[in-house]
Structures are given as C-alpha cells and as structure tokens.
Amino acid sequence: MVSIKILGPGCANCRKLEAVAREAAVAANVEAEFVKVSDMKQIMHHDLLLTPGLVINEKLVSSGRIPTAAEVQKWLAAA
C-alpha cells in the first residue's frame, strides 16, 4: 500500500490536490492510504516551503502547486 500525504492548512488548493491524488490513484489502480497533515511542525519535517505539498511514501514530490493527475500517476508508478 502506498502512503500519500497532503500537506497544508486545509485550504481549497489542499482539497483540490487531494482530489487529484485520489483520482490518479484510482486511475493507476493503486491502493493508497491518504493522510492530511495540517500541523506545521510535521509539515516542516518534509522541508516544505509552499503549500500544498504532496508526499508519496515519505518523499516530497510536489510543493506549492497542484500537479496533474498524469504527473501523480507517474510518481505513484515510481513509488
């Protein structure tokens, strides 16, 4: 199972990022556990400068933007 973390305060972009990541996981037929992280100490643990952030299996793959579902699928395939 792949671990996917959405880092951010819970803003509209954070929700949009989560929706894109869920869509990509379904399209790639990947079983994933989604975790929302809004605690700033935990967010800083990932060296995130801009939210929202996307972490796949403890690796920060995106920050400060909303990637496409296709990009997320590539990251999931590499995970």
Domains in the chain with CATH codes? 2-78 (3.40.30.10)
CB 47, CB 64: distance < 8 Å: no
pTM attached to this predicted model:
0.94
Handedness of CA 19, 57, 7, 61 (dihedral sign): negative
Give, for all 79 residues of the chain, the pLDDT tens digit. Answer: 999 999 999 999 999 999 999 999 999 999 999 999 999 999 999 989 899 999 999 999 999 999 999 999 999 999 8
